[in-house]
Amino acid sequence: MAWTRDEMCARAAQELEDGFYVNLGIGMPTKVANFIPDGMDVNFQSENGMLGMGSFPTDNEVDADLINAGKQTITETPKSVYFDSAQSFAMIRGGHINMSILGALQVAENGDLANWMIPGKMVKGMGGAMDLVAGVKRVVILMDHNAKDGSAKLLKECNLPLTGAGVVDDIITELGLFRIGEGGVHIQELAPDVSVDEVRERSEATIVTQ
């Protein structure tokens, strides 16, 4: 049984550590915040200028001046602090953020990441993704193992424009947890009843077992 999306998020949350400063990407990575293990203290950074991001507001708490990087309304927490965009990216580029969990279009076995552009289609932009992968200590990718058309996303080389070269540390998909390492993509953990053969069939990258 492959992991559900909630199980993928819960697995990603287990990679967090007490006291970590973490930046979550837009989409599925945002939901990792719902699965923080009890008793663990994690500070979420929102790159538009906030540390200590809280959950969505109730109707009467909504504040137009308080949004996350996905432009959604949020709340503050007792530890919240606000700052400008240059300060925010000084934290990111200066290596002060412990972990970033991001989505991906493609990941290559050398750690190259493509997640911002599909040529020929409308290009929305990279936002803060290039800064995050270049500066954050550990980059964890949370993505579906295959594209909607079934094609592999875990590749020998990315063919989409890169967000960063050699920047990915770990990948979590519905099939398991994988780590970029010597000789390719190393299986760290498989979802229940998922076989190494299935991972190999559904990937183009070189899959290394322990």
89 binds other proteins (CB under 8 A): yes
- Of 3-32, which residues contact other proteins (CB under 8 A)? none
Give the largest CA-CA distance in the chain. Answer: 54
Return the number of the residue (90 or 147) whose C-beta is nearest other proteins.
90
38 binds other proteins (CB under 8 A): no
106 binds other proteins (CB under 8 A): no
Torsion from C-alpha of 63, 67, 71, 72, nearest 10 degrees: -70
Token representation of residue 90 = 């000084």
47 is catalytic: yes
67 binds other proteins (CB under 8 A): yes
170 binds other proteins (CB under 8 A): no
Q: Which stretch binds other proteins (CB under 8 A): 37-45, 66-74, 178-186, 194-202?
A: 66-74
DSSP character string of 3-44:
PPHHHHHHHHHTT--TT-EEEEPSSGGGGGGGGPPTT---EE
103 φ, ψ to 5°? -85, 170
72 binds other proteins (CB under 8 A): yes
Cα–Cα distance between 203 and 3 in angstroms, integer? 17
Smallest separation, CB 149 to other proteins (Å): 22
- Of 138-157, which residues contact other proteins (CB under 8 A)? none
Return the number of the residue (74 or 190) whose C-beta is nearest other proteins.
74
Q: Which residues, 6 or more positions from 35, have their beta carbon under 8 angstroms from its beta carbon? A: 6, 9, 10, 12, 13
Return the number of the residue (169 or 174) whose C-beta is nearest other proteins.
169
Smallest separation, CB 153 to other proteins (Å): 18
Q: Which stretch binds other proteins (CB under 8 A): 71-79, 147-155, 175-183, 187-195?
A: 71-79
β-bridge partners, 21 = 43
Q: Residue 29 CA to chain centroid, in angstroms?
A: 5
Catalytic position from the list 7, 15, 17, 47: 47
Residue whose pair of structure tokens reads 């934290």 in the numeric block: 91
Return the number of the residue (127 or 200) whose C-beta is nearest other proteins.
127
140 φ, ψ to 5°? -110, 125
Task: Indicate the residue type of 7.
Answer: E
Binding residues (CB under 8 A) for other proteins: these are 46-50, 55-59, 62-68, 70-74, 76, 82-86, 88-90, 92-93, 112, 122-131, 134-135, 161-166
- The catalytic residues are 47
